[in-house]
């Protein structure tokens, strides 16, 4: 289907990330400025320790506003820990990853090598890969016509 089925050919190699000890409001700023729906959360050694979604941030900030406080806390207190996150490896088959993301209704998947964050695949990258394949197929058909 694709010219390559290797996930590393389509993933984002520098995904948006934040340190687990960062203030949640810093994460909100990154999400808003980047116009993204979530972040990979890392430790001091770039090990993936979790993910933080805009829903996580919304829930935390709403709870905080009812308490009258502006200091919500650290990202690590609101993220989904890596043990509960589906991750991919750079050499994974892109079609298998896409199918699993659809089945689980995930919009993104961190890509790790030996625990280190090396990328991320999102629905947008998957759609770009499909478009790229479709255009290449059109060009092959036109050349053979």
Structural domain range at position 118: 7-144
Q: Which pLDDT does position 68 carry in this prediction?
A: 60
Q: What is the CATH number of the domain that holds 87?
A: 3.10.580.10
- Alpha helix stretches (DSSP H) within the chain: 24-34, 54-67, 94-104, 123-144
Q: Can you give the pTM of this predicted structure? A: 0.84
> What is the number of domains present in the chain?
1
Q: Which pLDDT does position 6 carry in this prediction?
A: 83
Q: Which pLDDT does position 2 carry in this prediction?
A: 47
Residue 25 in domain = yes
Q: Which pLDDT does position 36 carry in this prediction?
A: 93
Task: Check if the beta carbon of residue 124 is closer than 8 Å to that of residue 34.
Answer: no
Residue 30 in domain = yes
Residue 1 in domain = no
Q: Scanning the structure block, which residue is given the tokens 């689980």?
A: 104
Q: Which pLDDT does position 13 carry in this prediction?
A: 95
Residue 2 in domain = no
Residue 99 in domain = yes
Average pLDDT per run of 10 along the chain, which is 145 residues long? 72 96 96 95 98 94 68 91 96 92 94 97 91 67 62
């Amino acid at each position: 289907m694709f010219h390559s089925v290797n996930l590393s050919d389509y993933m984002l190699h520098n995904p948006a990330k934040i340190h687990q000890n960062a203030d949640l409001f810093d994460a909100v700023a990154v999400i808003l400025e980047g116009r993204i729906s979530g972040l990979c959360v890392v430790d001091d050694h770039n090990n993936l320790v979790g993910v933080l979604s805009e829903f996580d941030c919304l829930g935390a900030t709403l709870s905080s506003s009812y308490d009258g406080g502006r200091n919500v806390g650290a990202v690590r207190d609101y993220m989904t820990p890596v043990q509960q996150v589906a991750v991919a490896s750079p050499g994974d088959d892109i079609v298998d990853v896409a199918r699993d993301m659809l089945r689980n209704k995930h919009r993104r998947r961190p890509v790790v090598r030996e625990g280190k964050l090396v990328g991320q695949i999102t629905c947008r990258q998957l759609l770009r890969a499909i478009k790229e394949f479709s255009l290449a197929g059109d060009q092959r058909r036109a050349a053979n016509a």
